[in-house]
């Protein structure tokens, strides 16, 4: 019997696609097949049909089975995986694994059976409805039919009239600018001050696409944001709205994937993993809060950025792209400046509310004169009291979770550290010491393991701030929102409804929430935001503080933003606290930055950061690639890193006789990060900065080849991170 040979993509980190044979001549590209790999079976995707050059047919194993109960992978999906793998220097199999997790094939098979049963029930109920004579019986069957259709995910044949608010003149002008950018074939960056009504603009464009039967992908960086935003979008799109993120049940995620594959005009609200849904009719991609680092996946591969992957996805489908932020990333601002994106500004708040009053509290000065009560300055306490008396709510940011970030011996000075990571253990109110990197946990004894003296708690995390707040404000309803919180959804709902008066949390409280009665926001220990050893620290600090500032005063009442810091003259703090006196409307972040009096010799923070990046050869003027080396043996890690570094140095210099001047890329020697060991593995990083020129693609491929050659003979593990954040 003649055999048909097929190349199969497997969900494994293989740099090649193995070839198998089948006796079924009708097998097609995109079909799912079960094949032997080693001693086990794996489900893969057929990517090619035919005999590859040089194939030794005698060594080809047969396909175990072709699973036609599963949907074929589309050409668009295959093209997207190819682009993601190429850009992020990983294997296509790793992208397949992200798109179709190991259990998804079984889930899809169960989904097929479930839908068949539902369709059979629907058929029987519709037949019974036709035969029914009594109104009560017909009503019961009609209700059951609607319930079955809802479970199947069917939507009305006609889209309900969208309940969109009327766009203000400023919003209409911004919408016209967005359309003009799309007409020129460009992605559009919408830079709108917080509270300016960007969401209404997103909805107006999404409604037009859905009404035409096309699909929309609406990305947000955090799961918490989907919960509040879902209520707003549900009122507009009804059952046309689908949500997709890791907290949805496996059944619901399967259902969403099936509905997306069928097309028909839907809005998918999701986090970064939603880019791997099997879209067939995608026409618009919205990326809200595009600057957020939460869009980036750190591990495992593909280490992709949801924002940038969405751009690749849109390119495959020919979809429009709309990026939105009140504080855009420098990368996106740079892309506007060079004409790669179109830029549109929305400078006026939707409710025309006054700009929050910014007050900087010098904690060093307050400490000297006795103006501090724990982590709270007396000025902040007075502001909280007056805000609550006036009926407003309060939001407090502390960028460290737990009770105390570290524990130290009062006698010998020993700091208790994680036995598996090079970081201090954090004390939690549960009475345990926890490592925030590997999750190691141990009971807190209160005694130093070195000398037996008493241990003292150092610093304050959100749990301690919560305890201090309860002591200072005993009559207030106080809650805490961080990754240790038991019910994130309930906490957000209670604060939105006004049930909670004071909310304390980590950076997640600054991200995109719309709390109508929030009148005061405060930052404790703001210094920690811009003191990190990272060239992006000022940018991230400015974005976080600006976003928090934007949570308040989103209606008409006056509001206040208090920053507690020991560095009141820091450029980030100065940029936030200076408002142009001549501004008649709410200024944009860039207008604030361009104001005089910033104490930076007339140069705005924005231009200062970009100029520093240009001078240092950092992104957005270059492309950064980090090679992370991990090994449990520190000496072996050091030797391996030195070997890989030397191999890369050969690639770094241009070849003899090359017409291009300068190095192909800039290479930094292996360096230990601030946390040099995680989960028992020592870490080193080799940083590479590549010019954005004609050599970029070739340089990335050369780096990938060098890493693969090195990995064939070295026990040290290497992972590649393109565009780290």
User: In the Cβ-directed half-sphere of 697, how many Cα atoms lie within 13 Å?
Assistant: 4
Count structural domains, the chain.
6
The answer to whether residues 44 and 68 belong to one domain is yes
What phi, psi does 710 have (nearest 5°)? -65, -40
Is residue 234 included in any domain, yes or no?
yes
**Spatial CA neighbour of 311 closest among 219, 221, 373:** 219
317-343 exposure pattern, b = at least 16 Cβ within 10 A, e = fewer: bebbbbbbbbbbbbbbbbbbeeeebbb
Q: What is the rounded CA–CA span in Å between residue 526 and residue 506?
A: 12
Look at strands 65-66 and 622-631 and give their pairing: unpaired
Is residue 374 included in any domain, yes or no?
yes
Domain of residue 435, residue span: 404-459
Q: Residue 53's domain is classified under what CATH number?
A: 3.40.1440.60
Furthest-apart CA pair in the chain: how many Å?
92
The DSSP string of 65-129 is: EE-TTSPPPPHHHHHHHHHHHHHTT--HHHHHHHHS-TTHHHHHHHHHHHHHHHHHHHHHHHHHH
With 0-12 CB in 10 A as exposed, 13-18 as middle and 19+ as buried, what is 568?
A: middle
Q: What is the rounded CA–CA span in Å between residue 84 and residue 86?
A: 5
Look at strands 622-631 and 681-691 and give their pairing: antiparallel
3-state secondary structure of 293: helix
Is residue 589 included in any domain, yes or no?
yes
Q: Last residue of a domain, which of 58, 75, 99? A: 99
The answer to whether residues 262 and 333 belong to one domain is yes
How far CA 525 is from CA of 380, 567, 674, 704, in Å, comes to 13, 10, 20, 41
The answer to whether residues 327 and 263 belong to one domain is yes
Is residue 464 included in any domain, yes or no?
no
Q: What is the rounded CA–CA span in Å between residue 218 and residue 220?
A: 7
User: In the Cβ-directed half-sphere of 138, how many Cα atoms lie within 13 Å?
Assistant: 6
pLDDT value, residue 654 = 58
pLDDT tens-digit series, residues 656-700: 444 444 567 899 999 999 999 999 999 999 999 999 999 999 999
The answer to whether residues 211 and 314 belong to one domain is yes
Q: Last residue of a domain, which of 561, 585, 610? A: 610
The DSSP string of 687-722 is: EEEEESSTTHHHHHHHHHHHHHHHHHH-SSEEEEEE
Q: What is the rounded CA–CA span in Å between residue 239 and residue 255?
A: 13
The answer to whether residues 145 and 134 belong to one domain is yes
The answer to whether residues 387 and 435 belong to one domain is no
Q: How many CB atoms lie within 10 A of CB 559?
A: 21
Q: What is the rounded CA–CA span in Å between residue 519 and residue 384?
A: 10
Is residue 265 included in any domain, yes or no?
yes
Give the residues across from 520 on adjacent strands.
394, 560
- State the distance between the two ends of the chain, measured CA to CA, in whole angstroms: 55
Look at strands 19-22 and 61-62 and give their pairing: parallel
pLDDT value, residue 651 = 84
In sequence order, the 6+-apart residues with CB closer than 8 A to the CB of 328 are: 189, 191, 290, 291
The answer to whether residues 391 and 409 belong to one domain is no
The answer to whether residues 606 and 716 belong to one domain is no
pLDDT tens-digit series, residues 47-78: 999 998 889 999 999 999 999 988 899 999 99
Q: What is the rounded CA–CA span in Å between residue 387 and residue 357?
A: 13
With 0-12 CB in 10 A as exposed, 13-18 as middle and 19+ as buried, what is 466?
A: buried
pLDDT value, residue 351 = 67
Is residue 684 included in any domain, yes or no?
yes
Q: How many CB atoms lie within 10 A of CB 195?
A: 21
Q: What is the rounded CA–CA span in Å between residue 209 and residue 285?
A: 11
What phi, psi does 192 have (nearest 5°)? -120, 135
**Spatial CA neighbour of 555 closest among 518, 522, 520:** 518
Q: Residue 652's domain is classified under what CATH number?
A: 3.30.70.360
pTM of the entire predicted model: 0.86
Is residue 467 included in any domain, yes or no?
no
The answer to whether residues 521 and 562 belong to one domain is yes
What phi, psi does 387 have (nearest 5°)? -65, -40
Is residue 157 included in any domain, yes or no?
no
The answer to whether residues 83 and 147 belong to one domain is no
**Spatial CA neighbour of 264 closest among 155, 164, 122:** 155
Residue spans of the chain under pLDDT 50 = 105, 157, 159, 579-603, 656-661
DSSP H helices in 513-581:
537-549, 571-577
pLDDT value, residue 235 = 85
The answer to whether residues 178 and 282 belong to one domain is yes
The answer to whether residues 196 and 333 belong to one domain is yes
Q: What is the rounded CA–CA span in Å between residue 173 and residue 253?
A: 37
Handedness of CA 417, 419, 422, 423 (dihedral sign): negative
pLDDT value, residue 660 = 44
Q: What is the rounded CA–CA span in Å between residue 35 and residue 64?
A: 5
Q: Give the gyration radius of the chain's Cα atoms.
A: 28
CA dihedral 402, 404, 406, 408 (to 10 degrees): -150
How far CA 606 is from CA of 600, 611, 649, in Å, comes to 11, 9, 34
The answer to whether 245 touches 219, Cβ cutoff 8 Å, is no
Q: Which long-range contacts (CB under 8 A, 24 or more apart) does 575-584 make?
A: 575/542, 575/604, 575/605, 576/358, 576/542, 576/545, 576/546, 576/549, 577/358, 577/359, 577/360, 579/355, 579/358, 583/355
């Amino acid at each position: 019997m003649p055999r048909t040979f097929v190349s199969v993509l497997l969900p494994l980190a293989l740099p090649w696609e193995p070839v198998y044979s089948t006796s079924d001549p009708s097998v097609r590209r995109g079909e799912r097949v079960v094949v032997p790999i080693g001693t086990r079976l794996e489900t893969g995707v057929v990517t090619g049909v035919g005999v590859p050059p040089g194939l030794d047919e005698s060594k080809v194993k047969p396909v175990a089975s072709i699973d036609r109960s599963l949907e074929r992978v589309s050409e668009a999906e295959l093209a997207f995986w190819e682009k993601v793998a190429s850009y992020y220097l990983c294997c296509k199999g790793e992208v397949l694994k992200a798109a179709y997790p190991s259990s998804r094939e079984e889930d899809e098979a169960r989904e097929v059976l479930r839908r068949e049963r539902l369709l059979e029930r629907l058929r029987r109920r519709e037949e019974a409805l036709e035969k029914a004579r009594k109104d009560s019986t017909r009503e019961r069957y009609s209700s059951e039919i609607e319930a079955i259709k809802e479970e199947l995910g069917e939507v009305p044949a006609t889209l309900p009239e969208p309940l969109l608010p009327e766009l203000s003149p400023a919003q209409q002008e911004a919408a016209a600018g967005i359309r003009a950018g799309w007409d020129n074939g460009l992605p559009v960056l919408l830079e709108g001050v917080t509270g300016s009504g960007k969401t209404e603009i997103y909805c107006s464009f999404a409604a037009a696409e859905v009404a035409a039967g096309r699909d929309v992908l609406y990305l947000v960086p955090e799961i918490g944001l989907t919960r509040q935003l879902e209520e707003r979008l549900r009122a507009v799109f009804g059952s046309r709205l689908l949500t997709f993120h890791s907290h949805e049940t496996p059944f619901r995620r399967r259902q969403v994937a099936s509905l997306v594959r069928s097309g028909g005009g839907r809005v998918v609200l999701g986090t970064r993993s939603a880019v791997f849904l099997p879209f067939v009719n995608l026409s618009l991609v919205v990326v809200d809060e595009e600057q957020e680092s939460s869009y980036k996946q750190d591990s495992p591969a593909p280490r992709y950025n949801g924002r940038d992957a969405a751009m690749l996805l849109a390119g495959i489908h020919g979809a429009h792209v709309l990026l939105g932020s009140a504080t855009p990333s420098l990368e996106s601002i740079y892309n506007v400046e060079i004409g790669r994106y179109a830029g549109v500004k929305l400078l006026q708040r939707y409710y025309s509310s006054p700009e929050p009053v910014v007050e900087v509290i010098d904690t060093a000065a307050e400490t000297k004169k006795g103006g501090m009560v724990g982590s709270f300055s007396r000025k902040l306490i007075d502001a909280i009291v007056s805000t609550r008396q006036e009926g407003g709510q309060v939001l407090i940011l502390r960028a460290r979770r737990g009770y105390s970030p570290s524990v130290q011996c009062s006698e010998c000075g020993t700091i208790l550290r994680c036995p598996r990571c090079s970081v201090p253990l954090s004390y939690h109110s549960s009475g345990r010491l926890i490592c925030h990197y590997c999750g190691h946990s141990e009971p807190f004894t209160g005694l130093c393991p070195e000398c037996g003296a008493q241990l003292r708690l150092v610093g304050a995390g959100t749990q301690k701030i919560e305890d201090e707040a309860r002591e200072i404000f005993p009559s207030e309803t106080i809650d805490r929102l961080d990754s240790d919180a038991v019910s994130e959804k309930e906490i957000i709902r209670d604060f939105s409804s006004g049930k909670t008066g004071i909310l304390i949390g980590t950076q997640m409280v600054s991200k995109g929430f719309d709390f109508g009665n929030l009148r005061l926001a405060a930052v404790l220990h703001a210094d920690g935001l811009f003191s990190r050893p990272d060239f992006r620290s000022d940018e991230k600090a400015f974005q976080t503080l600006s976003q928090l500032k934007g949570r308040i005063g989103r209606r008409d009442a006056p509001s206040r933003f208090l920053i507690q810091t020991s560095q009141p003259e820091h450029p980030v703090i100065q940029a936030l606290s200076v408002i142009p006196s001549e501004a008649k409307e709410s200024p944009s972040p860039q207008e604030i930055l361009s104001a005089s009096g910033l104490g930076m010799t007339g140069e705005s923070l924005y231009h200062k950061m970009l100029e520093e990046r240009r001078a240092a050869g950092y992104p957005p003027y270059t492309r950064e690639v980090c090679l992370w080396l991990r090994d449990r043996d520190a000496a072996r890690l050091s030797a391996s890193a030195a070997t890989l570094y030397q191999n890369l140095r050969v690639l770094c210099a241009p070849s003899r006789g090359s017409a291009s001047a300068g190095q192909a890329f800039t290479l930094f020697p292996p360096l230990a990060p601030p946390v040099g060991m995680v989960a028992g593995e020592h870490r080193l990083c080799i940083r590479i900065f590549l010019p954005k020129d004609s050599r970029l693609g070739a340089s990335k491929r050369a780096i990938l080849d060098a890493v693969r050659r090195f990995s064939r003979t070295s026990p040290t593990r290497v992972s590649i991170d393109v565009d780290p954040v």
